[in-house]
Amino acid sequence: MYLHAMESGRDFLPVFADTGNEHEATLDYVRDLPRLTGGPAIRWVKADFSGDFERKRRFVEEQWPKDGVPDDRVRAALEALHPTRVPFLDLCMMKGRFPSTRARFCSEELKYHPIFYQVQEPLLEDGQIVCSWQGVRADESASRAKMRRWEHVGGGLWNWRPIFRWTVEDVFAIHRRHGIEPNPLYKQGMGRVGCMPCIHARKSEIKEIAHRFSDHIARIELWEALVGDCSKRFGIGSFFAVGKTPGHDKSKPSPGIWDVVEWANTDRGGRQFRLFDDINTDPGCLSIYGLCE
């Protein structure tokens, strides 16, 4: 999108929403893009939920006992409910759960809202017309394929999705045209780089993340414990939904992050471990998009 906007010849204000669940390579990539391209500086925004924690604490203290939540669960939640200043984690602690396919509140709360309130709304209040370019492609998912390329949000705000009909090859072709390497994570087995990990990460991606970036798996383990303390439902905070690991007993709590990693290292429907995985430890290029050629 950044390169496409540069090619358009228009003045534009690029904005990056840091969710707090990004890989450091992605953050470095965004920081370096203006220098590599000669394009405009990128404005960074972050959601901030620190002001909501006191309200949440009052609700837990007053309402949870009325709902029959045991005293020890109430105390654990009150001890945990303090802002960390990590947007993704704070949001999940406030919700008492992680996002899912059916409740994908992360994009709205961590990307759309901070971009609107911190960047777009002040421009609109100044009487300007805002055309928001969004890097959504139709072939990314069935739900995105149903979106419109052009829509009026309201007032002076419009959404425009200029790469909506682009293919994956179109995306990497514009990188080559400008002599810009893609995000290095695309050469390390990642199909998506928006979060590390994403709740929609494929089995092979989870396996590579655990192999290459085990510190991110350990971080999610800590987050699961914190979010679990803030949850009314059995005190369980699972990053991935119960259906992530086929065959999991849905009457039991959702699997934790290390359970999912263990499943990601299996084949045959999760019934056995791959025989040669421990032998093949080559950390080299592993792109699902053929970027190693």
Q: In what helix (H) or strand (E) does residue 34 lie, and over which residues does it extend?
A: helix 24-37
Centre a 10 Å sphere on the Cβ of residue 128 and count the other Cβ atoms it contains.
11
Query: How buried is residue 239: exposed, middle or buried, by Cβ count under 10 Å (0-12/13-18/19+)?
Result: buried
Centre a 10 Å sphere on the Cβ of residue 12 and count the other Cβ atoms it contains.
16
Domain ranges in the chain are 2-48+103-181, 51-84, 183-293
Q: What is the DSSP string of 205-269?
A: HHHHHHHH-HHHHHHHHHHHHHHHHT-SSTT---SS-GGGSTT--TTSPPP-HHHHHHHHTEETT
Q: What is the DSSP string of 83-132?
A: --S-HHHHHHHHHTS---SSS-HHHIIIIIHHHIIIIIHHHHHTT--EEE
Q: Structure tokens of 59?
A: 């609700």
d(CA 258, CA 286): 23
Sequential pLDDT tens for the chain (293 residues): 999 999 999 999 999 999 999 999 999 999 999 999 999 999 999 999 999 999 999 999 999 999 999 999 999 999 999 999 999 999 999 999 999 888 889 999 999 999 999 999 999 999 999 999 999 999 988 888 999 999 999 999 999 999 999 999 999 999 999 999 999 999 998 988 989 999 989 999 999 999 999 999 999 999 999 999 999 876 567 999 877 887 666 666 678 999 999 999 987 655 554 544 544 445 566 676 767 75
CB-CB contact of 152 with 158 (8 Å): yes
Query: How buried is residue 186: exposed, middle or buried, by Cβ count under 10 Å (0-12/13-18/19+)?
Result: buried
pTM assigned to the model: 0.89
CATH architecture of 2-48+103-181: 3-Layer(aba) Sandwich (3.40)
CB-CB contact of 229 with 80 (8 Å): yes
d(CA 241, CA 99): 9
CB-CB contact of 137 with 163 (8 Å): yes
Question: What CA–CA distances, in Å, run from 206 to 34, 74, 189?
Answer: 31, 33, 9
d(CA 263, CA 203): 8
